[in-house]
Structure 1
Amino acid sequence: MASHDAAVKKPVTSSRRLKQTAFPHSPEVLLLVDVINPLDFPTAQDILPSAMEAAKAIAKLKARHTRRGMSCIYANDNYGTWHSEFRDILAECCKLEGPRGEMALLLSPGPEDLVILKPQHSAFHSTPLQHLLTKMKAKKLIIVGLAADMCVMLTATDARMLGYDVWVPKDCTAAESVLRKDNALQQLEGVFKCSVRAAHRKRS
C-alpha cells in the first residue's frame, strides 16, 4: 500500500520565474478596443470592409506611436468564453480565413503591450483598466477599434467622465454603416468634447 506521503502530488514548477512587471510611465496611451475580433454575428458582413480599412490605419498609428515610446493596452471582449485567456482568443482569430484572420495577424499585440479582457461594452466596466492607467500616470487616451457606435463610444464616454483627454481617430474606427459611425463620432465630439480628427491624411 502506498504511503500517504507518496500519494501527495508535488507542486508543478516552472523553468521561468514569475517576475513582477513594472508599470511603464506613459502620459498618453493607445487603447485598442476589440481589434482581435472574430466578427461572428449576423450583420458582420456590413462592418467587415470598413473594419479592415480601420485595422490598416490602426496598425500605422500604433507603429508610429510605439516608436515614440507610447504604451498600448488591448481591451478585448472575451466573447463569452469564460474559460479562455486572451492568447486563446488571439490564436483562434488568427486561424480565421479572409479579412477576419488578416486583422488579427495585423494587429496582434507585441511583447511590451498590455492586455485585458472585458465582459461588457466599455473597457472600464469590471476591468483593471483604470488601475493600470493610474499606475501609468496616463492623462490622454487614444481610443481605436470596433465598433465606433458601441464599445469604442462607451469606452470613450467613460474615459471622459473619469477626466481623461480623449482622441478617437475617425479613420481608426468602424461601424456597420457610415451613418452609425458618423452619429457616434458627432456625439463624442459635440457632447463629450473628444477629438475625432483622422490619424492619417488622405492621399489626393
Structure 2
Amino acid sequence: MSHRRSAVIVIDMINTYDHADADLLLPSVQRAVPSIVHLIERARERKVPVIYVNDNFGQWRSHHGEILQTALAGPRSDLVEPIRPDEDSLFVVKARHSIFYETPLAYLLNQLKVHHTILCGQVTEQCVLYSALDAHIRHLQVTVPEDAVAHIHADLAQAALKMMHTNMNADIVDSGAVQLRAR
C-alpha cells in the first residue's frame, strides 16, 4: 500500500476547552500539541492534504472561521494557535464522535484520492477510536501516531489504541515514523 496517498486528519483540536472533561484532557493535549504541530508541518512540506474535522460546538450556524475565532478567543488559545489551519487546509464540521458520521469527509477523501488516513487530535478513546473504525470499514488504511493524540483516561486510551491496532489493522506509531505519501 505504499503508493496510496495520505491525508493528515486533525480531530477536534480547534477547541475552547470549556467542557466537563477539560481538566482531565488538558495535560494530555499539552503533551500532544508539539507532535501534532510537527506532523502538520511535515504534511504541508510534502503537499499532503491536512484536513481539520471539528465539532461545531452545537452552533448550527457555525462555519470554520467562526469555530476558529471562538477557540482562539478562549482561555486555551495557546493550544489552538500552534495548530491553526492555514489557507491550504481543508475543514469539515461534524456533530458527533466520528469524523465520517453525516459529514462529507468520505466524499472529500475520494475526490482527493486519499486511501491512507493519519488520525491525530482528541479524544483517543472517543472520537479517534470511532473515526478509526469508520475509516477501516471504508477500506481506508489508518495510522494513529500515539504521541499526537490526547486522552481523558489513559487506561481507556491504551485500550483504544490496542483495539485500533488489533481489530482495525491500524498502524500505531510515533509521529516521527508516520509515512506521508503525497501520491
Distance 1:96 1:176 in 2: 20
User: How many Å separate the matches in 2 of 1:180 and 1:55?
Assistant: 20
Q: Structure 2: which 5+ residue stretches go unaligned?
A: 178-183
Query: Structure 1 regions of 5+ residues with no counterpart?
Result: 1-25
Alignment of 1:109 with 2:91, yes or no, is: no
* 1:34 maps to 2:18: no
2:7–2:50 Cα contact (<8 Å) kept: yes
Deviations 1:82-141 (A, max 9, x none): 1121111110111123xx211111111010010010011111011110111111111101
Measure, in 2, the Cα distance between the counterparts of 1:158 and 1:185.
15
Q: What is the Cα deviation at residue 62 of structure 1?
A: 0.9
- TM-score w.r.t. the length of structure 2 is 0.91
1:160-198 Cα distance to aligned partner (Å, 9 max, x none): 100011001100001112112101101101111101111
Number of residue-to-residue matches in the alignment: 174
Residue 105 of structure 2, aligned match among 129, 133, 151: 129
The structure with the largest strand share of the pair is: 2
Deviations 1:26-62 (A, max 9, x none): 8110011101011222221011011121111100111
Aligned structure 1 segments of 4 or more residues deviating by more than 6 angstroms: none
2:11/2:120 contact within 8 Å kept: yes
- Cα deviation for residue 200 of structure 1 reads 3.3
Q: 2:159 aligns with which of 183, 188, 191?
A: 183
Does the 8 Å contact 1:171/1:200 carry over to 2? no
Q: Is the 8 A contact 2:43 2:50 kept in 1?
A: no
For residue 188 of structure 1, what is the amino acid of its counterpart?
M
Partner of 1:45: 23
Q: 1:94 aligns with which of 72, 81, 95?
A: 72
* CA RMSD after TM alignment: 1.3
Amino acid at match of 1:167: T
Percent identity between matched residues is 29
One-letter code of the match for 2:37? A
Out of 147, 151, 154, the position equivalent to 1:171 is: 147
Q: TM-score, normalised by structure 1?
A: 0.82
Does the 8 A contact of 1:52 with 1:103 survive in 2? yes
1:89, 1:108 → 2: CA distance? 11
SS in 1 for 2:163: helix
Confirm or deny: 8 A CA contact 2:11 2:53 kept in the other structure.
yes
Partner of 1:196 in structure 2?
172
The separation in 2 between residues aligned to 1:77 and 1:35, in whole angstroms, is 9
Letter in 1 for 2:102: S
Equivalent in 102, 114, 132 of residue 138 of structure 1: 114
Identify the range of structure 1 (88-97 vs 152-161) with the bigger mean alpha-carbon deviation: 88-97
Question: Counterparts of 1:153 and 1:79 in 2: how far apart (Å)?
Answer: 20
- Structure number with greater CO (CA < 8 Å, separation at least 6) is 2
